[in-house]
Amino acid sequence: MTTRPARGGRNPTMDQVAEAAGVSRATVSRVINGAPTVDAKIREMVQRAIAATGYVPNLAARTLVTRRTNSVALVISEPDRPDDSSFLNRVFTDPYFGRITAGATGALRLHDIHLVIIPTDSSDHHHVIRYLRQGHVDGVLLISSHERDPLPRQVHDLGIPAVLSARPAQPIPISHADVDQRLGARLAAEHLLGRGCRRLATISGPLDIPAGLDRLDGFRSYLANRGFADVPSVEGDFTRAGGEECAHRLLAQHPDVDGLFVASDLMSEGALRAVQDLGRRVPDEVAVVGFDDSSAALDCRPLLTTVRQPLEEMAAEMAELLMADIASPGRLPRSVTFQPTLVVRDSA
Mind listing the pLDDT tens digit for each residue in 149-171? 888 898 888 889 999 998 888 88
What dotted CATH number matches 181-308?
3.40.50.2300
Instruction: Parse the chain into domains and list their residue ranges.
Output: 7-66, 71-178+312-338, 181-308
How far out from the chain centre does Cα 160 lie? 19
Q: What is the pLDDT of residue 67?
A: 63
pLDDT higher than threshold 70 for residue 4:
no
Kindly list the distances between the CA atom of residue 53 and the CA atoms of 11, 12, 15, 40, 48, in Å, as whole numbers in the listed order: 9, 6, 11, 20, 9
One-letter amino acid identity for 120? T
- 181-308 and 71-178+312-338 share a CATH fold: yes
* CATH architecture of the domain formed by 71-178+312-338: 3-Layer(aba) Sandwich (3.40)
CA distance 232 to 200: 7
CA distance 220 to 201: 9
On the CB side of 27, CA atoms within 13 Å amount to 21
CA distance 194 to 215: 19
Q: Decide if 143 contacts 74 (C-beta within 8 A).
A: yes
Mind listing the pLDDT tens digit for each residue in 235-293? 999 989 999 999 999 999 999 999 999 999 999 999 999 999 999 999 999 999 999 99
Cβ count within 10 A of residue 189:
26
CA distance 190 to 185: 9
How far out from the chain centre does Cα 3 lie? 46
Q: How confident is the model at residue 3 (pLDDT cuts 50, 70, 90)?
A: very low
Helix/strand/coil for 262: strand
Lowest mean pLDDT among 37-51, 69-83, 228-242: 69-83
Helix/strand/coil for 336: strand
CA distance 146 to 144: 6
User: Is pLDDT larger for residue 219 or for residue 38?
Assistant: 219
CA-wise closest residue to 120 among 146, 167, 96, 88: 88
What length does the chain have?
Answer: 348
Q: What is the pLDDT of residue 82?
A: 47
Strands 341-343 and 233-235: unpaired
What dotted CATH number matches 7-66?
1.10.260.40
Name 5's Cβ contacts closer than 8 Å, sequence gap at least 6: none
Name 4's Cβ contacts closer than 8 Å, sequence gap at least 6: 16, 19, 20, 53
pLDDT higher than threshold 80 for residue 307:
yes
Q: pLDDT over 70 for what percent of the chain?
A: 88
Lowest mean pLDDT among 4-8, 138-142, 242-246: 4-8
Mind listing the pLDDT tens digit for each residue in 78-121? 765 545 555 566 666 678 888 999 999 999 988 889 999 988 87
Q: Which residues make beta-bridge pairs with 267?
A: none
SS3 readout for 213-230: HHHHHHHHHHHHCCCCCC
CA distance 24 to 120: 47
Helices (H), the chain: 14-21, 25-32, 40-53, 59-66, 84-93, 95-109, 125-133, 151-158, 181-194, 210-224, 240-253, 265-277, 295-299, 311-327
Strands 200-204 and 259-262: parallel
Q: Which residues make beta-bridge pairs with 78?
A: 121
Query: Would the pTM of this model clear 0.85, i.e. be above it?
Result: no
pLDDT higher than threshold 80 for residue 2:
no
